[in-house]
Structure 1
């Protein structure tokens, strides 16, 4: 699954079978150095937003509060790719990419 847009925030919803590869691409239209990937889940009827990974610059990617085995690439300043070779049930949810 890939997403490209000129918007600042991105919304991704996916359903993948267990153990399949997940790959999401976020592309921004600015040269903003900071980019973030969030996962939104529903727990006990409440929406929970968790920071998965973030990048403070092109070559500097950091784990968020719950990376869940995801890895990221930042091949260009405006592109941030989130991926995982084998999805797990806990990876289900809505994914948001934002830049700052």
Structure 2
């Protein structure tokens, strides 16, 4: 006796009807986690705090996250309230901003 499996997973003695069979494109099947999209390395934000000692914080536009910076990493002279572009760099204490420029 030959047994077949129908579209619902049930065993049957009649062969399945292949006329209603749907085609699956193997390239559209995603295995594992979703792919990580690359971020733009240059961020923008506003200087929300700047100390006389040469350090401060930039609030990033997209994530509203505060990023530490030091005046040694500034290309232009920075003041509180300036709109700046920067790159984020991982440091032992979290992220810090480098290559800071004023956006005009």
Structure scoring higher RCO (CA < 8 A, sep ≥ 6) equals 1
Q: Give the structure with the larger strand fraction.
A: 1
TMscore range, shorter length:
under 0.3
More helix by share: 2
Point out the structure with max Rg over C-alpha.
2
